[in-house]
Amino acid sequence: MLMLINCSGCRTALQLPHGATSIRCALCQAVTYVADPRNAPSPPAQALAPPPAPTGPWGGQPPPPSAHGKKRAVICGISYRYSRHELKGCLNDAKCMKYMLMNRFHFPESSIIMLTEEERDPYKIPTKANIRMAMYWLVQGCQPGDSLVFHYSGHGSQQRNYNGDEADGQDETLCPLDFETQGMIVDDEINATMVRPLPFGVKLHAIIDACHSGTVLDLPFLCRMDRNGHYVWEDHRPRSGVWTGTSGGEAISFSGCDDHQTSADTAALSKVTSTGAMTFSFIQAIERSQGMMTYGSILTSMRAVIRSTGDSVGGGSGGGSVTSLLTMLLTGGSGGGLKQEPQLTAHETFDVYAKPFSL
């Protein structure tokens, strides 16, 4: 059984395994002792000295003050290296997303947590525990004016739903690096951690590049294109009446595909290196935008990039083997019936053609 305690350094809630007498914080690295000091073993000598400066996700600097209008992001790219689940493009997705957030939307590098297998800090490896901690950090103490981003590129899956809140009987999941031993992160937990706590004035954007990711944040409304080519909202609120929206804030998610679809990991789109099709199309939609961007224009552009097999993605001429590969990957080799359609879900309905997009 797990119990929650506050970190002695940064006050983050930590999950203490049963029987443990101390725990190190993944964010500020402070060691918190919880046992009665009369019964607990004496801490090592270095623990009695003044604590060193924090060396957590803020690059050796103290955590930034809780200021109005701050921006922070969690970027997770999992390649499942050396396993049968290996993906080629997820690390590139993470690096590209970080670059875009810093250079296009002016996110401070010190306020971005990167979770990849390249990280040397063991608390930044994309394990289940570390992803959970990062999601908690992202929304902790958020205030009106804050802009939060959660980007995930990796495997997604589904598992049986037992509480009757899913129309298709399936919960959507994210697969951390250690999912085969520690299990997956279920949409119910993602919603409870990052969506429901959001207060008024706080904005969360999630960009999820994974299979079966359409409603992985369990947001109450999904935007779908009708037969006439217009975006319309579908009501996905649970039949049980449980509220899956926010506490007044905004939560909007772009995902790589519908719940029943898979998401491509390919070199066909960038022509240079492997990327997730969804992440690449999202960044392309941002970079190609002229003037004001709306959620509708971004979604339309993303779908056009993925569907396109004749136009150049990188500025050169399209077609040839690249076109054939993209068609095969995204249409199942048939040239029709696209298997990957980026999705938009939100905490509330709005006019996607009029609402400006900003991070």
**Contact present, 226 and 181 (Cβ < 8 Å):** no
Is 68 an active-site residue?
Answer: no
- Residue identified by tokens 């240079």 is 272
- Measured in degrees and rounded to the nearest 5, phi and psi for residue 24 equal -100, 130
- DSSP E strands: which ranges in the chain? 3-6, 13-16, 22-24, 31-33, 71-77, 112-116, 147-153, 156-160, 170-174, 185-186, 203-209, 221-225, 231-235, 250-255, 265-266, 275-276, 343-346
CA-CA distance, 356 to 204, in Å (whole number)? 15
* Of 306, 316, 315, residue with least CA distance to 275: 306
Helical H runs in the chain? 45-48, 90-103, 128-139, 179-182, 187-190, 277-288, 295-307, 320-331
- Amino acid identity for residue 104 in this structure: R
Any idea of the CA torsion for 99, 248, 135, 51, to the nearest 10 degrees?
100
* Catalytic member of 151, 155, 205, 236: 155
Among the listed residues 76, 211, 223, 257, the single catalytic one is 211
175 tagged catalytic: no
Q: Token pair of 127, please?
A: 């394990």
Determine the 3-state secondary structure of 212 from DSSP. Answer: coil
Q: Which residues are catalytic?
A: 155, 211
